[in-house]
Each structure stands twice: as C-alpha cells, then as structure tokens.
C-alpha cells in the first residue's frame, strides 16, 4: 500500500488566484470612485471586473467578506502594509500626512465610504494605536521636558487632528482640499507644540 501523498499546491494557481483577487478588489475601487457603497454588489463587481459572479463568490463568499477584503487591501496599500516605515520625527510625520491627504483627496469617496464604515473603523483601530505610540516616542525625544500625561494628551490631540475623520469633516463641510487640510492641521499642531516650549 502506497503512503498518501500530500496535496499538490501549484505556485501558478496561487499566483493566478492572487491576481484575480486584485482584479476584483480594483473593480470595487473603480465602483467606489464613481458611486457610493450601495452601488457595490457582487453583480456590479463582476460586471466591472469582466468576470462571472461565480468567480467572485469563489474568492469571497459574501458581499461582507468582499468589502472587508477590499478595506484591508486598501488600507495596506495606503499605509505601506507590513513593511511600512514609520516617520521618526514630527516634521517627517507632518510631511507623511500631507501625502496621505493628497491620496485621500483623490479617493475621497473611498475614504468616506470605507474608512468611516464599521469595518473600516475596526481595521483602522490598530493603525491608530501604532500612530499614537509612535507620536508618544517622537514627543519623548523632541520634547523631553514633557511629563507622560502631557505627552499623552498632545499625542491624542495630534492623532485626532491628523485622522481620517477630521479630513472627511473638513473636506465635506468646508470644502477644503488636501493642501488646506494640511495647512490647518499643521498650524494647529505647531501651536500646540509651541505651547510646550
């Protein structure tokens, strides 16, 4: 009797599956750049991706699973994924956030529809925790005179000012573009930091 063989895993099949997933997720992005979240259905994604609904369901067993995968994909793409390099100084952080604002302005529908949805908030929570910890480190290096409580308050304020929610609010309510959002956020952060000197 022959011993059972391990199932064969084709590298080509895995690569094709990954490429198909990217085509599907980019179809979701295309829909969201032109419409709101309600426009995203399996049928519409299949039409935009030029594939069958069955293919979509083979990759994502429900619309919720598809939207979660899209949000993870988009957040990874926006933040640099697992290889992300965190800014090391407050000046670098403000430059980094300026580039985020420009990307968010270009994809404002995706940002407002996905980032602010429950799954977007859930998936961004660990990123905000990383950001808060990183700002605390920066403040410890750049403002060693501050106590832990003051650093914590300032880090929380900076994180709030730089948040997606603040960007969406200023963009939607006041019609601010990326440059105006960055200018106002930088001015507020500079004022806060000036008060610590």
pLDDT of 8: 63
pLDDT at position 170 over 70: yes
Co-location of 118 and 180 in the same domain:
yes
Judge whether 5 lies within some domain.
no
- What's the pTM value of the predicted model, to 2 decimals? 0.80
**Residues 97, 140 share a domain:** yes
Domain count, the chain: 2
The reply to whether 164 falls in a domain is yes
For the record, the structure tokens of 108 come out as 């404002």
Residue 191 CA to residue 73 CA, distance in Å, equals: 35
Cβ–Cβ under 8 Å, residues 181 and 171 = yes
Per-residue pLDDT at 197 = 76
Mean pLDDT of 46-69: 94
Are residue 60 and residue 90 in the same domain, yes or no?
no
- Kind plus residue range of the DSSP H or E element containing 177: none
Residue 68 in tokens: 């979660």
User: Do 59 and 143 fall into the same domain?
Assistant: no
Q: Are residues 46 and 130 in the same domain?
A: no
Please check whether residue 117 lies inside any domain of the structure: yes
Q: Tens digit of pLDDT for each residue in 78-88?
A: 877 667 788 89
Please check whether residues 96 and 167 belong to one and the same domain: yes
Tens digit of pLDDT for each residue in 126-145? 889 999 999 999 999 999 99
pLDDT digits (tens, 9 = 90+) for 17-45: 888 999 999 999 999 999 888 899 999 99
91 with 185, same domain? yes
Q: Which residue has the higher pLDDT, 174 or 114?
A: 174
Residue 4 resides in a domain: no
Could you tell me if residue 59 is inside a domain? yes
Q: Whole-number mean pLDDT of the chain? A: 89
Cα 70 from chain centre = 10
Does 197 share its domain with 170? yes
Q: How far apart are the first and last CA of the chain?
A: 80
Q: Domain span at residue 34?
A: 10-66
Residues 39 and 99 grouped into a single domain: no
Residues 95 and 34 in one domain: no
Is 31 a member of any domain?
yes
């Amino acid at each position: 009797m022959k011993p059972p063989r391990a199932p064969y895993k084709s590298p080509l099949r895995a690569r094709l599956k990954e490429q198909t997933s990217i085509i599907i997720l980019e179809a979701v992005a295309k829909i969201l750049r032109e419409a709101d979240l309600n426009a995203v259905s399996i049928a519409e994604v299949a039409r935009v991706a030029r594939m069958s609904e069955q293919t979509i369901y083979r990759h994502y067993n429900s619309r919720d699973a598809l939207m979660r995968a899209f949000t993870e994909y988009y957040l990874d793409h926006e933040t640099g994924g697992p290889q992300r390099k965190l800014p090391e100084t407050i000046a670098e952080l403000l430059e980094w956030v300026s580039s985020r604002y420009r990307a968010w302005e270009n994809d404002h529908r995706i940002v407002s529809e996905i980032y602010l949805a429950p799954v977007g908030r859930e998936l961004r929570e660990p990123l905000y925790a990383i950001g808060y910890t990183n700002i605390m480190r920066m403040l410890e290096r750049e403002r060693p005179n501050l106590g832990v409580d003051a650093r914590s308050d300032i880090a929380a304020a900076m994180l709030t000012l730089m948040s997606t929610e603040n960007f969406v609010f200023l963009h939607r309510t006041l019609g601010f573009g990326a440059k105006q959002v960055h200018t106002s956020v930088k001015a507020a952060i500079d004022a806060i930091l000036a008060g610590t000197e």
